[in-house]
């Protein structure tokens, strides 16, 4: 009788251990409801997983998903880092604060424009993946500053950099520093090749100051030297906010 009891207890203990090990080994899952405009790639990036893993976990044969669809997310995926927009925030200021790019923020959140509102929750891209892109933006910003503001004071150089960054943030222009610089017919230094010269240390200093959020131009989207532009040029139709060094800065 006692022997049978011991055997029964041993079997029960083994069963508990076995079920516990299975429970611990089995991956817990969470679900996510697809939002309008989202893609599998965006969701995979948000949860630090892959499109292939999402498709496998949900039995998907293609990348096609629809709003309201519930997707299984393996527990191994990391919880996404988020940021709540506050009054006065812009995509650019949020991007700079977290060391990412405006374009990356837009792609991660499925935004078609740069408009955001207080209380909005934004998913943040992983910084490690974007550091090279930020370094590239700094380099090209320094190049355009050196080419367009050569001979200007540090303030004048920062101002030129600020215009480029204001364009990045504006819905009227491209969304990266590189694309703004190489938008057709925008900068003389692109046409004459000056932008390809190695920038001096002062240009990098000005670029970093501008990228920190300092804008002495008051939000200007254009700059020009009034002494080198003909009176009939369309740029004179823009509203000049201020003059810094040899340049007028306008909206």
Instruction: State the CATH number of the domain containing residue 214.
Output: 1.10.10.2520
Q: Do the domain assignments include residue 16?
A: no
The pLDDT value given to residue 52: 76
Q: How many CA atoms lie within 13 A of 148 on its CB side?
A: 30
- From first to last of the 251 residues of the chain, give the pLDDT tens digit: 444 544 454 444 444 444 444 444 444 557 788 888 778 877 877 777 777 788 878 888 888 888 888 888 775 555 567 889 999 888 888 877 777 777 778 878 888 778 899 999 998 876 544 445 567 888 899 999 999 999 999 999 999 999 999 999 998 999 889 999 999 989 999 988 889 888 888 898 899 899 888 899 999 999 999 888 887 788 888 899 999 999 999 98
pTM exceeding the 0.75 threshold for the entire prediction? no
The confidence score (pLDDT) of residue 92 equals 80
Q: Are residues 137 and 211 in the same domain?
A: yes
Is residue 51 within 8 A of residue 41, CB to CB? The reply is yes
13: its two tokens: 């203990």
Q: Where are the alpha helices (DSSP H) in the chain?
A: 2-25, 40-46, 51-58, 91-98, 102-109, 127-148, 154-169, 177-181, 188-192, 201-211
**What whole-number distance in Å separates Cα of residue 249 and Cα of residue 251?**
7
Residue at 94 is within a domain: yes
- DSSP-derived letter for residue 234 is G
Domain final residue, candidates 102, 125, 148 = 125
- 175 and 101 part of one domain: no
Structural domain of 142 = 130-250
Read off the tokens for 40. Answer: 């599998």
C-beta separation of 23 from 16 below 8 A: no
Same domain, 119 and 229: no
The whole-angstrom separation of Cα 201 and Cα 80 is 37
Distances (CA, A) of 50 to 74, 108, 250: 11, 14, 45
Domain endpoint, select from 63, 79, 95: 79
Please check whether residues 218 and 179 belong to one and the same domain: yes
Do 150 and 242 belong to one domain? Answer: yes
Number of domains within the chain: 3
């Amino acid at each position: 009788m006692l022997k049978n009891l011991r055997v029964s207890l041993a079997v029960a203990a083994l069963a508990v251990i076995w079920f516990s090990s299975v429970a611990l080994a089995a991956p817990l899952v969470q679900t996510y409801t697809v939002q309008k405009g989202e893609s599998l790639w965006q969701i995979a990036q948000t949860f630090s997983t892959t499109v292939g893993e999402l498709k496998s976990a949900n039995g998907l044969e293609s990348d096609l998903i629809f709003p309201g669809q519930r997707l299984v997310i393996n527990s191994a995926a990391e919880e996404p880092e988020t940021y709540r927009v506050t009054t006065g925030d812009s995509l650019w200021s949020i991007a700079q604060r977290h060391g990412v790019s405006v374009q990356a923020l837009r792609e991660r959140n499925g935004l078609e424009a740069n408009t955001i509102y207080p209380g909005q929750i934004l998913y943040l891209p992983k910084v490690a993946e974007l550091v090279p892109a930020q370094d590239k933006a700094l380099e090209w910003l320094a190049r355009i500053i050196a080419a367009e503001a050569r001979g200007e004071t540090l303030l004048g150089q920062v101002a030129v950099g600020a215009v480029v960054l204001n364009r990045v943030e504006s819905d009227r222009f491209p969304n990266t520093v590189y694309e703004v610089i190489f938008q057709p017919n925008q900068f003389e230094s692109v046409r004459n090749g000056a932008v390809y010269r190695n920038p001096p240390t002062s240009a990098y200093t000005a670029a970093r100051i501008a990228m920190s959020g300092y804008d002495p131009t008051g939000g200007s989207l254009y700059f020009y030297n009034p002494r080198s532009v003909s009176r009939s040029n369309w740029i004179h139709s823009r509203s000049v906010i201020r003059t810094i060094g040899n340049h007028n800065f306008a909206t």
